[in-house]
Amino acid sequence: MWGKTHPRYQVLALAAAVLFLALFAAAVHAQEPEPDPEEIDQVEVIVLPELPQLFITGNDVTNPPTIVLHAVGRDAEGNAIDFTTEPLKLTSNGTAVVPSVTDTFPVGTFTVFLIDIPTGVEEQLPVIRDSIKQFAGPGSGMQEQIDYIAIYQVGETEAISLLPPDNFYNSVQNFFVDDLTPETGSTALIDSIVSLLDQMEELKPVPEMSSSIVVMSDGTDVVSTLNEPADIITRTASLNLPIHTIWVDSTDLTFQGQEQGQAFLQEISDSSYGLATTLDNSDGLSDIWRHIASFREHARVRYVIDDLTGGIFDIELSLANDPSASASMTVEMPDNQ
C-alpha cells in the first residue's frame, strides 16, 4: 500500500481529501470561463460517516423467546468488526437485554471492478486481467456461489457494463478468453464512477450484501463534465460503500501526471474508507482482496426476552466500548408464535 492513513489522522485526511478533490475539479475545468461571483452556488458541506459503524441486516424470530439479529460493522480503521471479541449492548423497547454472539453465517459480498483502459495502458492489460482473475479465484477475495462480481469499463460519459453480476469462477475466466481492448476515445473517470455509484443498490444481487467498488485507472480525467469529484464523496458517504483504488501506469503520462493520478486515487479511497495500492504491488492487491472478503460473514446476535408476547419491538444495538456506534431495527413477533 502506498499511503494507508492512520486512524488518528482520519479527520484531517478526509478534510484534505475534500479540498484536494475540489482543487482537482478546478484544474480539470480550468479551461472554462470563470462564473460571475453572484452566480456561484453555496458549497455543500459533505458529512462523512463516522467510524466505527454498525448495521443490522436482518432478524430471525422463528425460535421464541430467543430473537436473533444479523449484524455487520466497520471498525475505526474501516475493517470488518470481529463480533466475537467486541462486546455489545442491546435494548428492546428501552429495556436492556444481554446479547451473545454465537456464530456467523455467509451473506456474501458484491464487488464491482471499474477498469479504465485508455491507449496508454496497453502493456498493463494482461496484468489487469490476471489481477481480476486472481480475485475471482478459489481462496482469494471471492467465494463462488456466495459472492458476486461485476466488471465495468470507464466510458466517455458513464460506466459501461462488460460482465453483469455473476457468482461463478468460470464466468470470469470465460470473460477473459478474449483480450481487453483499449478505449481509443476519451474516458471520463469521474462521470463513470458516479454513474456506477448511482446503480449500486439496483445492481446488488442480495440487499444485505456488503458492496464495494475497485477502480483500476491511471487516475487522470480531463473530460468529465456531468459530475465533480466531490460528488463521489457524497455518493459513497450515503451508501457507506468503500472505493478501493489500484493505480495503473500509463505511458502517455508525464512524471507529474503520474503523481497527480496516484494522489487523486488515494484521496478517493481515503474519503470512502477504502484501500489504495498500485497494480505492481502484489501485497497491496492481497490486502484489498482480504478487506473485501472480511465482510462476507455476518454475525448472529442472540438474546432472550422473558415473558415474550406478540407485537412490535424497537431494537437498538451498540458497541459497549463506543455507544455512539449503534444501529436500530423494528422486530415484529407474530401473535401466533
pLDDT tens per residue across span 137-189: 999 999 999 999 999 999 999 999 999 999 999 999 999 999 999 988 889 99
Instruction: Give the closest residue to 333 by CA, choosing from 6, 68, 23, 134.
Output: 68
Place of cell 466505527: 52
Q: Encode pLDDT of 254-306 as tens digits.
A: 999 999 999 999 999 999 999 999 999 999 999 999 999 999 999 999 999 88
Q: Encode pLDDT of 108-120 as tens digits.
A: 999 999 999 999 9
3-state SS, residue 126: helix
Q: Is the pLDDT of residue 105 over 60?
A: yes
Residues 6+ apart with CB under 8 A from 68: 59, 60, 61, 300, 301, 302
Instruction: Give the closest residue to 93 by CA, choosing from 300, 335, 306.
Output: 306
**β partners of residue 68:** 60, 302
Strands 159-166, 148-154: pairing is: antiparallel
Q: Encode pLDDT of 229-240 as tens digits.
A: 999 999 999 999
Residues 6+ apart with CB under 8 A from 228: 21, 22, 25, 190
User: What confidence score (pLDDT) does residue 5 get?
Assistant: 40
Instruction: Give the closest residue to 28 by CA, choosing from 233, 228, 252.
Output: 228
